[in-house]
Structure 1
Amino acid sequence: MPDRIAFIGLGIMGRPMALNLRRAGYDLAVYARRPESMEPLAAAGAMTWRSPAQAAAQAEVIFTMVADTPDVEQVILGPGGVLEGAAPGAVVVDMSTISAAATRVIAGRLEGQGVAMLDAPVSGGESGAIAGTLSIMVGGAVPVFDRVRPLLEVLGRNIVHVGTNGAGQVCKSCNQIVVGATIAGVAEAILLARAAGVDPARVREALLGGFAASRILEVHGQRMIDGNFAPGFKARLHQKDMRIVGEAAAQLGLGLPTAASIAQYLDALVDQGLGELDSAAIYKVLESMNH
């Protein structure tokens, strides 16, 4: 089992994930663009480095957790990137949510240098990252997955190997459609209850006991009732994910009208300057449409 790990990208998700690996006893090298993001890891005993290449050179397994496809391309393939530092036989585990097509290209570049890759995007938000209970959707070769699985088990509870490189990212796109559609459905239900003069908290309680029950109704339904949209998963990142869904659908010649409507809600939210709120704030867009 790998003992030496690097973690690149220490944002709202990456920092607690890296801390969980360190607390599990692994030697950890870290890099983040903002030095202050590395301070909690340094305090926990991780070594900090000045580039992804330097961090990768210390490690058998290199995790990346950054915002978007260009960011992953930069930290892995760019100047001072992971590819410059990773030794043959190392594994890159990209836990960002990016394009499946780009993932396959990156995996090919790494393979040419003797470095394996898994795409392993996650669901569960900041709370899941902190608790180590994320759902992890993995694409890549089975022997590589088996080698890295003990590390993934530190980070998540539901870990599924979906297929070859890129399959994890396709699965994450499917996840984001279901999450977005459910947020919109819960928002419409709460709006209807309020407009009809019925207590939405009681409606939520009733629905949680039946077929409409979901984690979204439980957590985000309460957020909507309370008007609390502090981010667990920022709307601008969900917007990015739905853009990836739209691009994949276009490449495959698919019409996905529900996904398209979710993307429009998120675009409206970001256009209103609310992209830093949780994506549950789709409720605010629907509310404003009805006033």
Structure 2
Amino acid sequence: MSELKRNIGLIGAGAMGLHMIRHLIAAGHAVTASVRRDEAARAVEGVGARAVRSPAAAASNADVIITNVTSTPDVREVLLGDEGAIHSARSGAVVVDHSTIAVAGTREVAEALAARGIGFIDCPVSGGVRAAEAGTLTLMAGGSAEHLAAVRDVILCYGKTLTHVGPVGAGQVAKACNQIVQVVNIQGIAEAMLFCRAQGVDPQQMLTAISSGFAGSRMLELMGPKMVARDFAAGIESRLHAKDYGLILEMAQAAGLDLPAVQVTQALLSDMQARGWAKEDTSALLKALELRQASA
């Protein structure tokens, strides 16, 4: 149980957010969640939170405001829009944004909130729904040390590792780096599978052979068996990685950077979306590679 009980306003009570609420309630915090549908209201009330119908209502009287939505425009809307949290949040409250969005948008939102005396931490997460359920998310934070210290105990209700990377926006940069390493790794595993089969070698035997060497990784442990079994049920939906890679390429281009592995991976992720595989796992990069090979 957390020693300091807080009033938490949560915006974005989807698969991740619902688990966060559950952990926050278990720690003794009071949670008010903004929802748009009756089904979502029943879900948050079922884990002990109070459901309201707007971000502003969720932020009213909150010590900490947690957002977990999809895109940069979504974050702007729930925090700065007509029914946004900025209109009711008290001075001294701190917003913790767990969304993965553009660095420039993050800084713009933080500046607007700061003008009202509201703190802001950009704190993207890694680990997916399973880690949210277990309370073992990895979190990378940008913002002032003072603001982070004020909300650290809240974040660690559902996180295992929390690293202060730097000022506002640094958390988003770290998350972009996480996605580069993670998804390029998945792409490499898919290419290895394609190459292995083309050479007439059993992919499972290949996987067994390389897993204990330098090729071994958490991604190989997770994605290798899925690709061998051709099990593309989503752990993390490819649409989310496609969205992130669009952001990464935009930021890279703005910085004048050439990231060839990111470019190739982003093109295949885009192919997956066009083929209707948005809700399949990113391990389905293997299928996209196979189709590209077949049409070559």
TM bucket (normalised to shorter chain) is: over 0.9
**Higher mean Cα deviation, 208-217 or 27-36?**
27-36
- Counterpart code for 1:175: N
Out of 262, 269, 273, the residue aligned to residue 270 of structure 1 is 273
Q: Which residue of 2 aligns with 1:106?
A: 109
- Counterpart code for 1:195: A
Which string of whole-angstrom CA distances, capped at 9 and with x for unpartnered residues, describes residues 195-233 of structure 1?
Answer: 222221222222221111111100111111122222221
Q: Which residue of 1 aligns with 2:174?
A: 171
- The answer as to whether partners of 2:13 and 2:44 remain within 8 angstroms in 1 is no
- Counterpart code for 2:232: F
- The answer as to whether partners of 2:237 and 2:281 remain within 8 angstroms in 1 is yes
- The answer as to whether partners of 1:29 and 1:58 remain within 8 angstroms in 2 is no
- Counterpart code for 1:216: M
SS at match of 1:157: strand
SS at match of 2:15: coil
- The answer as to whether partners of 2:70 and 2:100 remain within 8 angstroms in 1 is yes
Unaligned runs of 5+ in 1: none
**Higher mean Cα deviation, 111-120 or 281-290?**
281-290
SS at match of 2:273: helix
- Counterpart code for 1:233: I
Q: Which residue of 2 aligns with 1:156?
A: 159
- The answer as to whether partners of 1:30 and 1:49 remain within 8 angstroms in 2 is yes
Q: Which residue of 1 aligns with 2:288?
A: 285
Q: TM-score, normalised by structure 2?
A: 0.95
Which string of whole-angstrom CA distances, capped at 9 and with x for unpartnered residues, describes residues 13-36 of structure 1?
Answer: 222222221222211100123331
- Counterpart code for 2:42: E
TM-aligned CA distance change 1:2 to 1:102, over 3 Å: farther
- The answer as to whether partners of 2:272 and 2:288 remain within 8 angstroms in 1 is yes
Out of 217, 221, 230, the residue aligned to residue 218 of structure 1 is 221
CA distance in 1, matches of 2:37, 2:232: 26
Count of paired positions: 291
Q: Does 1:228 align with 2:231?
A: yes
Out of 220, 238, 242, the residue aligned to residue 239 of structure 1 is 242
CA distance in 1, matches of 2:12, 2:219: 27
CA distance in 1, matches of 2:157, 2:194: 39
TM-aligned CA deviation for residue 251 of structure 1: 1.3
- The answer as to whether partners of 1:4 and 1:26 remain within 8 angstroms in 2 is yes
- The answer as to whether partners of 2:21 and 2:49 remain within 8 angstroms in 1 is no
TM-aligned CA deviation for residue 272 of structure 1: 0.4
Correspondences of 1:86-101 after superposition (within 5 Å):
86-101=89-104
Which string of whole-angstrom CA distances, capped at 9 and with x for unpartnered residues, describes residues 259-286 of structure 1?
Answer: 1111101000000011111122111101
TM-aligned CA deviation for residue 2 of structure 1: 5.2
CA distance in 1, matches of 2:266, 2:62: 38
Q: TM-score, normalised by structure 1?
A: 0.97
TM-aligned CA deviation for residue 71 of structure 1: 0.5
Which string of whole-angstrom CA distances, capped at 9 and with x for unpartnered residues, describes residues 48-94 of structure 1?
Answer: 11100001003100100001111001000001111011100000000
Q: Which residue of 1 aligns with 2:27?
A: 24
- The answer as to whether partners of 2:5 and 2:30 remain within 8 angstroms in 1 is no
Q: Which residue of 1 aligns with 2:10?
A: 7
CA distance in 2, matches of 1:43, 1:119: 28
Q: Which residue of 1 aligns with 2:206?
A: 203
SS at match of 1:117: strand
Once superposed, what is the RMSD of the aligned Cα atoms?
1.2
Identity of aligned residues (%): 43
Q: Does 1:142 align with 2:142?
A: no
Q: Does 1:128 align with 2:135?
A: no
Q: Does 1:72 align with 2:75?
A: yes
TM-aligned CA distance change 1:34 to 1:231, over 3 Å: farther
Q: Which residue of 2 aligns with 1:183?
A: 186
